[in-house]
Amino acid sequence: MDVSFLLVFTALILIGYLFEVISPKTRIPNIIILLGLGMLSQELVILMDWPKPDFSNVVPELGTVGLILIVLEGTLELKITKEKLPLLSKTLGLAFFSIVTLCVFLGFWFNTQGYTFKDSLLNAIPISIISSAIAIPTAKMLSAKDKEFIIFESSLSDIIGVTVFNYISATAIINGQSLLNFMGQVGISILFSVIGALTLTLILSRLNHRIKFMPIIALILFLYAIAKGYHLPALILILVFGLVVANIEKITELKWFNRFDPSNLLKEIHRFEEITTELTFVVRVSFFVIFGFTIDLHSLLNPETLVLSSIIFALIVLLRIFQLLILRLPVFPLAYVAPRGLITILLFVSIPASQTIESVDQTLITQVILMTSLFMMGATIFSQKGTDESKIKEKDSPQEKLDILHSQDS
């Protein structure tokens, strides 16, 4: 391994960690810092006249792994109770209708420019999805109640958006029959997800080898790849696995589960959560720095693209405020936290060249990401964390901390 690469990579990880630590104080979303680091790295390479590396093949693969880990990290924090069901239904409704309404608006807009409606929808979907990669880390700076809402909504937005994107891209003719076939695939995916999640959890309880967590994560990625290969909504597997692990206490109450040593399993799950969080951090920092490195700084100030991205940004905000009012949800800070990011980039680079739209390019995507991220910064600046988190500071057990937060939310 080249020593210079090792120095640069470790330095970026340490800088990313520094901003991760101080971000609750600065209230600046990490994505802005990480993209800035990538852009500065590009300028440094040009200034020093070094060979510029090509990351075009790295971004999609690293983005896929990052998406899986970020959704997994977010769902591992979610506890499902009867009291939480109304919250889950509201976040599901908001995530679904946010994507559908914005897709329809943008789809008709692109369609008037001479593109087919299918291609128009395909290019509109990436812009319509809230990025959990950005929303979840930012949610940690908000109150416990807002944090839980944002984790639910952004994770569901990723899953719904990717599912709809895969349906439209893989379907030649969109009609009732193709929709029924696709719904059957979703049902199969959910069943496969539940079986896979329970199997992975039981494997975790049985493994006695000192190396156990990375093989589990590798197995999760393997199952995701299989589901993706069969054109199934693979992110559902990640969501279900995370929810099963996060709510394992309810399963361990069953008599037949006693043979799997529930008390030891809970300790192992806590360690699994810690490793997932650290691995997610490394992948997230690497992805956004590399993507920042690929951004053309001069094109970001293109006035024509700025006008279009500003209109899209305004449409995102106005539609979100309207939907929050309809659902009788607080406009602040929820209206601010609707960032575009990793999932937007990942789906954008997945659009076949024959189905791309000229005006929807990397510059437009980057501008929308930066606008929504800067707007989201308003929520972190003006929102104060509730006293609920200060009350749990002295607790030793992470599980006790979660229990107190959930009891207060209820």
Tens of pLDDT along 319-345? 999 999 998 888 888 999 999 988 898
d(C-alpha 98, C-alpha 111), whole Å: 20
DSSP 196-235: HHHHHHHHHHH--SS--HHHHHHHHHHHHHHHHHTT--TH
d(C-alpha 410, C-alpha 198), whole Å: 28
Q: Which residues, 6 or more positions from 13, have their beta carbon under 8 angstroms from its beta carbon?
A: 282, 285, 286
Q: Give 30-54 pLDDT, tens digit per residue.
A: 888 888 888 888 888 888 887 888 7
Residues 348/365, Cβ–Cβ less than 8 Å: yes
pLDDT tens for the 410 residues of the chain, in order = 455 667 777 887 888 888 888 877 777 778 888 888 888 888 888 888 878 887 877 888 888 888 888 878 877 877 787 888 888 888 988 999 999 999 999 999 999 998 998 899 999 999 999 988 888 888 878 888 888 899 889 988 988 888 888 788 877 677 777 788 878 877 887 787 778 777 777 777 777 777 878 888 888 888 888 877 777 777 777 877 888 888 877 766 666 666 666 667 777 788 888 898 889 888 888 888 888 888 888 888 888 899 999 999 999 999 999 999 998 888 888 999 999 988 898 889 888 888 899 889 989 999 999 999 999 988 777 775 543 443 444 344 445 444 544 444 44
d(C-alpha 134, C-alpha 311), whole Å: 22
Domain ranges of the chain: 60-403
Taking each helix axis as running N to C, give the angle between helix 58-75 and helix 235-246, from 0 to 180 degrees, rounded to the nearest 10.
30
pTM score: 0.80
Residues 337/132, Cβ–Cβ less than 8 Å: no
| Secondary structure of residue 285 in the 3-state scheme | helix
For residue 384, what pLDDT is reported? Answer: 57
Residues 12/281, Cβ–Cβ less than 8 Å: no
Q: Is 136 exposed, middle or buried (0-12, 13-18, 19+ CB in 10 A)?
A: buried
What is the dotted CATH code of the domain comprising 60-403? 1.20.1530.20
Instruction: Return the percentage of the chain with pLDDT > 90, whole number.
Output: 19
* Token pair for 128: 């319509």
* Token pair for 48: 């020093």
For residue 259, what pLDDT is reported? Answer: 63
Q: Which residues, 6 or more positions from 2, have their beta carbon under 8 angstroms from its beta carbon?
A: none
DSSP 40-69: HHHHHHHHTTPPPP--TTHHHHHHHHHHHH
Cα angle at 68 between 65 and 70, to 5 degrees? 105
Residues 381/27, Cβ–Cβ less than 8 Å: yes
Residues 309/371, Cβ–Cβ less than 8 Å: yes
For residue 320, what pLDDT is reported? Answer: 94
Residues 336/378, Cβ–Cβ less than 8 Å: yes
For residue 253, what pLDDT is reported? Answer: 67
CA-closest candidate to residue 170, choices 233, 250, 102, 128 = 233
d(C-alpha 47, C-alpha 49), whole Å: 5
Sign for the CA dihedral angle at 246, 189, 238, 33 comes to: negative
Sign for the CA dihedral angle at 58, 62, 67, 68 comes to: positive
Omega of the bond prior to 333 within 30 degrees of 0, cis?
A: yes
- Whole-Å CA distances, 327 to 90, 95, 163: 7, 12, 24
**DSSP 8-class letter at 171:** -
Residues 154/129, Cβ–Cβ less than 8 Å: no
For residue 407, what pLDDT is reported? Answer: 46
Q: Which residues, 6 or more positions from 394, have their beta carbon under 8 angstroms from its beta carbon?
A: none
- Whole-Å CA distances, 306 to 299, 320, 357: 10, 21, 16
| Secondary structure of residue 328 in the 3-state scheme | coil
d(C-alpha 366, C-alpha 362), whole Å: 6
Residues 149/334, Cβ–Cβ less than 8 Å: yes
Whole-angstrom distance between the N-terminal and C-terminal Cα of the chain?
52
d(C-alpha 24, C-alpha 28), whole Å: 8
